[in-house]
Amino acid sequence: MTKDVILAKVDTESKNGGALFPRPVIEEYLSSDRCKTRLHDKVMLGSLTHQYRYGAEETEGFGMDDRMLSRGIILFCFTNLWLDGDNLMATIEIFDDYDEYSEAQVGDIKQLLRLLNHNVNVPISIVTDAEWNKDETEMTYLYDIIGGDITLNPAFTGAKVLA
């Protein structure tokens, strides 16, 4: 199953500390080989919440976001990114085959699919690796979009999986 997603609004402050994604920074990233390679390799991954994204420095042997590979339930990957007006958009491929999940994980994928099947515009939060200005309110360089996670409190108003 694939769905389109609104990830963020460019040139608009987010709800978490007023972070701003300037259009030129996003446009440069979207045209970069880094972006094209990550999309081709399908390594922009998503899960439920940011629970396993952070804290890698507290776990010996894990790099940033690696805890998600070992402990998280990866539910989707990004397959396309583009700008539509002021919206940073994505297409996600949802991993919806129950046989690919452990018995304990099936409930999570069923919950996500249930919401999507009932046309719920499920909120999503973008995960980035970026440089910011000195007060961390404006992105100055985007290394990569790491992925996105389903959360009821996304950083950007209107960020959601479209029904």
Maximum C-alpha span of the chain: 47
Per-residue pLDDT of 80-99, as tens digits, reads: 999 999 999 999 999 888 88
Quote the pTM value. Answer: 0.85
Please give the average per-residue pLDDT across 61-74, as a whole number: 62
pLDDT of res. 53: 58
65, with CB counted inside 10 A (0-12, 13-18, 19+), is buried
Quick check: 112 and 122 in contact, CB under 8 A?
Answer: yes
pLDDT (tens digit per residue) in 2-40: 999 999 999 988 887 668 899 999 999 999 999 999 999
H, E, C per residue of 71-132: HCCCCEEEEEEEEECCEEEEEEEECCCHHHCCCCCHHHHHHHHHHHHCCCCCEEEEEEEEEE
Burial of 134-146, coded b for 16+ CB within 10 Å and e otherwise, reads eeeebbeebebbb
**Selected residue with higher pLDDT from 82 and 68:** 82
